[in-house]
Amino acid sequence: MMISVCFVCLGNICRSPMAELIFTEMVKERGLASRFNISSFGTDDCEVGNPIYGAALRELKEHGITGAHRAQQLSLRDVINNDYILVMDTANLNDVLRLTGGRFCEKIHRLCSFTDRPRDVSDPWYTRNFEKAYEDIYEGCLCFLNKLLSDKRAALGGTRL
Ligand code: 4NP
């Protein structure tokens, strides 16, 4: 069974493409790459077509992660087509719920709501702290994946953590 996960932020040039690449690496390391369809989107169209922001790319590289992405705007179709819509912060959550008219809320979550300290991902666009954003995103991805694996172990064919 394929699990579709999309990460969502405002511009789709910093946080959500970082999350896409971090989560892709995480599932690859566990031999689960073929089980997942992973993507990312922005709620806004302001950066559509633009590559990952330089400082975000550098932060990823420091952690051994490389990759490329072009910003794309989230549509209702994308919400329908994904099993999990993981947003970075409360503003993103409100924007996505506005897009869906409040529907599909059961599959829309803040990424760091899966941690034992539920919070927004620190926004590096304003803090300029890309390391902090990386740490928040990494922790959120790890906690999400662990929860998913314990919930879906049967569907994933008994794969262990
Ligand atoms: P992102 O970062 O949502 O993490 O991709 C931002 C990108 C662009 C803007 C804000 C945040 N902006 O205001 O243009």
Read off the pLDDT of residues 28-42 as tens digits, 9 standing for 90 and up. Answer: 999 999 999 999 999
In ligand 1, the atom with minimum distance to the C-alpha of 9 is 3
pLDDT digits (tens, 9 = 90+) for 65-98: 999 999 999 999 999 999 999 999 999 999 999 9
Cβ(89) – ligand 1 distance below 6 Å? no
With a CB cutoff of 8 Å and minimum separation 6, the contacts of 98 are none
| Whether residue 103 lies in the annotated active site | no
| Whether residue 15 lies in the annotated active site | yes
How does residue 160 score in pLDDT terms, banded at 50, 70 and 90? low
Q: Which residues pair with 94 in a beta bridge?
A: none
Q: How much distance in Å is there from the Cα of 138 to the middle of ligand 1?
A: 19
Specify burial of residue 54 (Cβ count, 10 A radius: 0-12, 13-18, 19+): exposed
Could you report how far apart the first and last alpha carbons of the chain are, in Å? Answer: 17
Domains, the chain, with CATH or none: 3-151 (3.40.50.2300)
Q: What is the reported pTM?
A: 0.95
Distance CA 96, CA 56 (A): 23
Distance CA 108, CA 46 (A): 22
